[in-house]
Amino acid sequence: MALLEIRDVTRRFGDFVAVDGVSLSIGAGEFFTLLGPSGCGKTTLLRMIAGFDQPDAGSIEIDGKNTVGVPPEERNVHTVFQSYALFPHMTVEQNVSFPLRMSKCPQAELAPRVREALEDVSLLGMEKRYPNELSGGQRQRVALARALINRPKLLLLDEPLAALDAKLKERMQLELITLQKEVGVTFIYVTHDQEEALALSHRIAVMNKGKVEQLDQPATIYGFPKNRFVADFIGECNLLDCTVSAVTDGTMILDVEQLGRVVASGANGTTAGTKGALALRPEKVSIARELTAESCVNRFNGRIFDYLYTGDVTLYIVEVDNGRRVEVMLPNNAVGRSSKFFEPGDAVQIGWRDDAGSFLPD
Amino acid sequence: MSPRAQKWVISGPPLGYLLIFFAIPTFIMVLASFRFAGEFGGLAPLVGTGNPDELSGLTFENYQRFFEDTIYLELFLKSFIYATVTTLLCLGVAYPLALMIARSDKRWRELLVLLVILPFWSNFLIRVYAWMIILGPQSGFARAVNGVLGTFGAEPIPLLYSPIAVIIGLVYVHLPFMVLPLYVNLEKHDPALLDAAQDLGAGAWQRFWKVTFPLSLPGVYAGAALVFIPALGIFAIPDILGGTDGILIGNVIKQQFLDARDWPFGSVLSMVLTVLAILFAGLAAWVARHQRI
Ligand SMILES: Nc1ncnc2c1ncn2[C@@H]1O[C@H](COP(=O)(O)OP(=O)(O)O)[C@@H](O)[C@H]1O
Ligand SMILES: [Mg+2]
């Protein structure tokens, strides 16, 4: 039995549907992520799980028990708020022991359990500090320790790393993974940052406009997006509008606008005449002055139109002879001072394997 | 401009303000409390003209007089008790009101705050006189109160010209000074803190006592100081609502200056009042600092 069972949950604000018929089933011990652009209803869904808001339709079950009418303080669910919401008038120790004191935990147990909780998040020695004497990362850890100290069934995290700088964010991501494994609590993690979602999660639900667009493991979400929205939202992606012109033995011939004929595998059930898009990740496209790789069944000539240098990789925008622009990613692994391979205007060939992209029917 | 000059430009005006409106008057009062009363009121000259019948110079006489008769200390104690009761009642009435305003819809908040300060638009004395009518023996209010008392078999009590009337007047007049600092404080509270407390298992009562109230203490101290200190020295309300034994220390000070025309002794009483007020303000500030909020 799933730990959290969400069935057809809908939440409206006036005419606006913030959460639209969402169903999710989340197992014990899972690191589950709700990923979607700002305003897609992630926080609203989380607030309903925590008990701060009620669904207009559908049901939420925790441990097989319907949660209707159960207030937040009686749910075995804790939240780490984006602002951390640490109590400014309490020390770290008092903040962390707050849930224990609310549940009338015996006085003698407080100190050892606070110690243990602070050890989990490597904050020993900070007991007497106040929140305004801590750095952003330390506050984050206090919020985690406080939410985990009485081992809730479910921990909800609403964009907990959004306020941290890039380096610290990366470190906290690693710590979160370790912490989740250690404590074994089910995490439901909300973020609009796709890289973070891919890095952390066992499973991801990609949300858009209140609906779940795709629910899968990170590699599946990234490698086999189900539709244009997911392909576009997760990572960089070329979305090439096309029509299926022929299907043979599970292989499709696609007629791509402003590009030409493209061979693609994985036809499963698609019929000729279907319109859609070919989703092609920039790193799956090869680029060279002259392509030699035999495996690139799809090859096109073009010129470098522009590029975006980001240090480790360069994203080239190649304009093929028929006019379509394709993004191609290349690691900057050339030896020597100049690590870029091409300049705008250079004539190049691009190509990809038949299984490099996926066809998304409209 | 040099940093030194800049510092003076910034701190100059407030310092000047304090000098003109606090330091100089206080100094004049201190000096007056050590002088002799003039023959026809006011103060005797500081430097005599040489006439042996004329009083001049400085004296401890006024302070001696203050400590010789316990009546003044008793009046201070009485004023202190009235001011304390007023402050506590104001807090009790103002806190729920301020909380309600702070948690009401943003659209209504400004209007509600306006309603709190609306009484300031009419004259203070008129508002206190209005209470004479409300508390007077013929008023519906007094009859209702005595009717209720009657059903319990108690004797009817006069409301007007009683300590109850003074306390009601004091609470009524000072209420906005408690509501406003409390509201300003409560309005700033991050609602996420209450969500967090509830999420972590705190019921409504615990959320109030563990989060809202401790965080509102600076507002409580500010409001208490703004109510307690003026209530300690007030004379108009006991004059109008208090009847013959309703007087407080403020009334005596007023009498010394306006009726007895004994400025030095009035200054002594004012000095003691000022020192007490500063002590309480300092105490409130100290407590607030050591609560670390
Ligand atoms: N209490 C509310 N009243 C009206 N609209 C709301 C309320 N809460 C959220 N919304 C709307 O619902 C949508 C989803 O909000 P939210 O769940 O906070 O999105 P996310 O967390 O994914 O950014 C937003 O367009 C927001 O304006
Ligand atoms: Mg949100």
Q: Mind listing the pLDDT tens digit of every residue in chain A (362 residues)? A: 689 999 999 999 999 999 999 999 999 999 999 999 999 999 999 999 999 999 999 999 999 999 998 999 999 999 999 889 999 999 999 999 999 999 988 989 999 999 999 998 889 999 999 999 999 889 999 999 999 999 999 999 999 998 888 888 898 999 999 999 999 999 999 999 999 999 999 999 999 999 999 999 999 999 889 999 999 999 889 999 999 999 888 889 999 989 999 999 887 778 888 999 999 999 999 998 888 877 788 999 999 999 998 888 899 999 999 999 999 999 888 766 666 688 899 999 999 998 898 899 88
* Residue B266, pLDDT score: 92
Digit-coded pLDDT (tens) for B22-70: 899 999 999 999 988 887 778 887 777 777 777 778 888 889 999 998 9
State in Å: Cα A81 to ligand 2 middle: 10
**Would you list the DSSP string of A329-356?**
EEE---SSS------TT-EEEEEE-TTS
Shortest CA distance to B96 belongs to which of B244, B239, B216? B216
Evaluated on CA atoms B39, B44, B45, B48, the torsion sign reads: positive
B269 neighbors B27 (Cβ within 8 angstroms): no
Query: Chain A residue with minimal CA distance to B211?
Result: A87
Q: Taking the CB of residue A224, how many other CB atoms lie within 10 A of it?
A: 15
Across the interface, which of A78, A87, A130 has its CB nearest the CB of B199? A78
Residue A4, beta-bridge partner list? A26, A62
Which residue's C-alpha comes closest to atom 25 of ligand 1? A39
Ligand 1 atom closest to the CA of A45, numbered from 1? 17
**Tokens linked to A145:** 């320790």
Which residue's C-alpha comes closest to atom 17 of ligand 1? A41
A346 neighbors A304 (Cβ within 8 angstroms): yes
Contacts of B248 (CB under 8 A, 6+ apart): B75, B78, B79, B82, B166, B234, B235, B238, B242
A88 touches chain B (CB under 8 A): yes
* Residue B292, pLDDT score: 57
CB contact under 8 A, A85 and B202: no
Integer Cα distance of A231 and A239 in angstroms: 8
Evaluated on CA atoms B37, B39, B44, B48, the torsion sign reads: negative
For residue B277, give Cα distances in angstroms to A214, B86, B239: 68, 15, 22
Write out chain A residues lying below 8 Å of B185, CB-based: none
B190 neighbors B235 (Cβ within 8 angstroms): no
CB contact under 8 A, B199 and A87: no
The residue of B200, B206, B221 whose CB has the most chain A CBs within 10 angstroms, and thus the best one to mutate to test that interface, is B200
Contacts of B204 (CB under 8 A, 6+ apart): none
Between β-strands A31-35 and A16-26, what pairing exists: parallel, antiparallel or unpaired?
unpaired
Shortest CA distance to B136 belongs to which of B158, B166, B117, B155? B158
Phi and psi of A296, rounded to 5°? -80, 90
Integer Cα distance of A129 and A125 in angstroms: 9
Rounded to two decimals, the pTM is 0.83
Considering the domain B69-292 in this protein, what is its CATH number?
A: 1.10.3720.10
H helix or E strand, kind and range, residue B27: helix B24-33
Across the interface, which of B192, B215, B292 has its CB nearest the CB of A81? B192
Pocket of ligand 1 contains residue A248 by CB under 6 Å: no
For residue A289, give Cα distances in angstroms to A343, A345, A348, A350: 12, 12, 4, 9
For residue B11, give Cα distances in angstroms to B4, B16, B287: 11, 9, 26
Instruction: Give the model's confidence band at B3: pLDDT under 50 very low, under 70 low, under 90 confident, else very high.
Output: confident
**Tokens linked to B246:** 């309703």
CB contact under 8 A, A85 and B200: no
A268 neighbors A250 (Cβ within 8 angstroms): yes
Shortest CA distance to B158 belongs to which of B86, B242, B81? B242
Angle, alpha carbons A12-A13-A16 (nearest 5°): 75
**Tokens linked to B97:** 């009101």
Q: Taking the CB of residue A274, how many other CB atoms lie within 10 A of it?
A: 18
Residue B155, beta-bridge partner list? none
Integer Cα distance of A329 and B130 in angstroms: 83
Integer Cα distance of A77 and A176 in angstroms: 18
The domains of chain B are located at: 69-292
B48-79 in b/e form (b: 16+ CB < 10 A) is eeeeeeebbeeeebbbeebeeeeebeebbebb
Distance from CA of A160 to the nearest CA of B (A): 14
**Tokens linked to A332:** 């900057």
